[in-house]
Chain A
Amino acid sequence: MEFLLQLSLDGVSLGLLYGISAIGFILIYRSSGLLNFAHGGMIGFGAFLFFALSAWANWPVIIAFAVTLVCSFGLGLILEKWIIRPVFGRENLIHYILITLGLALMLKSVLSFVFEKSYHHLPVFVPHAFSRGWFGFQFTSFHIIALTAGIGVLLLYRFYFAFSPQGISMRAFAENRLTARTLGIPVKRILAMSWAISALLCALTGILLGMMNGPAADSLSAAGLKIFPVIVLGGINSIGGAVIGGIIIGLLETFVGPYASPQLQNLLPYMALVLIIVIKPTGFSGDRDFKKR
Chain B
Amino acid sequence: MRQMKETEKLKPFPPAFHSPGRLKTRYEEGFNRFRTARGRRFMVITVICLFGLLPLVLNDYMLHLFHAVCIYAIVAVGLTIMTGYTGQLSLAHGAFFGIGAYTAASLVTWASLPFFLVIPAAGTVATLFGALFAIPSLRLKPIFLPMATLAGQFIVEYILVHRLSFAGGSKGFVMPKPVLVDLGLETKLSLFYVTAICLLIIIWLSDNLLRSKTGRAFRALRQNERAAAAMGIDAYRHKLFAFAVSSFLAGLAGALFAYAVETIVPTFFNLTLSIEFLAIMIIGGLGSISGAIIGSVAIVFLKEIIGVAGAFSMNSNIHAGAGPAIISLYEFVLGLVIVLFIIFKPEGLASFYRKIKQGFNRWPFS
Contact = CB atoms under 8 A, between A and B. Distances in A.
Instruction: Let me know if chains A and B touch directly in the complex, using CB atoms closer than 8 Å.
Output: yes
B89 A105 contact: no
Interface stretch (B178-186, B202-210, B325-333): B325-333
B336 interface: yes
B163 to A, nearest CB: 10
A168 interface: no
Nearest to B276: A105
Contact of A290 (B137, B141, B158, B342): B141
A270 B151 contact: yes
B144 A103 contact: no
A98 to B, nearest CB: 6
A109 B335 contact: yes
Interface stretch (A139-147, A204-212, A274-282): A274-282
Contact of B335 (A35, A104, A277): A104
Nearest to A217: B328
A113 B329 contact: yes
Contacts of A270: 150-151, 154-155
B308 to A, nearest CB: 12
Contact of B338 (A102, A228, A277): A102
B152 interface: yes
Interface in B107-140: 133, 136-137, 139-140
A267 interface: yes
B220 to A, nearest CB: 15
Interface in B309-338: 324-325, 327-332, 334-338
Nearest to B339: A102
Contacts of B282: 98
A62 interface: no
A263 B335 CA distance: 26
A261 interface: yes
Interface centre among A106, A108, A236, A263 (most CB of B within 10 A): A106
A271 B147 contact: no
Nearest to A100: B339
B89 A106 contact: no
B137 A93 contact: no
Interface in B243-295: 272, 275, 278-279, 282, 286
Interface residues of A, number: 47
A292 B140 contact: yes
A232 B144 CA distance: 9
Contacts of B342: 87, 95, 98-99, 102
Contact of B140 (A90, A228, A281): A281
Contacts of B146: 35, 97
Contact of A292 (B83, B141, B161, B346): B141
Nearest to A34: B143
Contacts of A93: 87, 89, 142-143
B214 to A, nearest CB: 20
Interface centre among B139, B150, B152 (most CB of A within 10 A): B150
A286 to B, nearest CB: 11
Contact of B339 (A94, A97, A99, A271): A99
A113 B325 contact: yes
B162 interface: yes
Interface in A230-282: 232, 236, 261, 263-264, 266-267, 270-271, 273-274, 277-278, 281
A108 B331 contact: yes
B324 A117 contact: yes
B331 A273 contact: no
B141 A273 contact: no
B89 A97 contact: yes
Contacts of A35: 143, 146-147
Contacts of A124: none
A92 to B, nearest CB: 8
Given A116-B324, A293-B141, A277 B147 contact: yes
A266 B143 CA distance: 23
A281 B144 contact: yes
A101 B148 contact: no
Interface string A105-139: 11111101100110000000000000000000000
Contacts of B278: 98, 101
28 contacts: A86-B343, A87-B343, A90-B346, A92-B346, A93-B143, A94-B83, A94-B87, A99-B339, A102-B275, A102-B279, A103-B335, A105-B275, A106-B335, A109-B328, A109-B329, A116-B324, A228-B150, A232-B147, A261-B162, A266-B154, A267-B154, A274-B148, A277-B136, A281-B137, A291-B141, A292-B141, A293-B141, A293-B226
**Which 5 A-B pairs rank lowest in CB-CB distance, beginning with the nearest?**
A102-B338, A105-B335, A106-B335, A109-B331, A270-B151
Given A95-B342, A102-B337, 17 more contacts: A35-B143, A35-B146, A87-B342, A94-B87, A94-B286, A102-B339, A105-B272, A109-B335, A113-B328, A113-B329, A116-B324, A270-B154, A273-B151, A274-B133, A274-B148, A290-B141, A292-B140
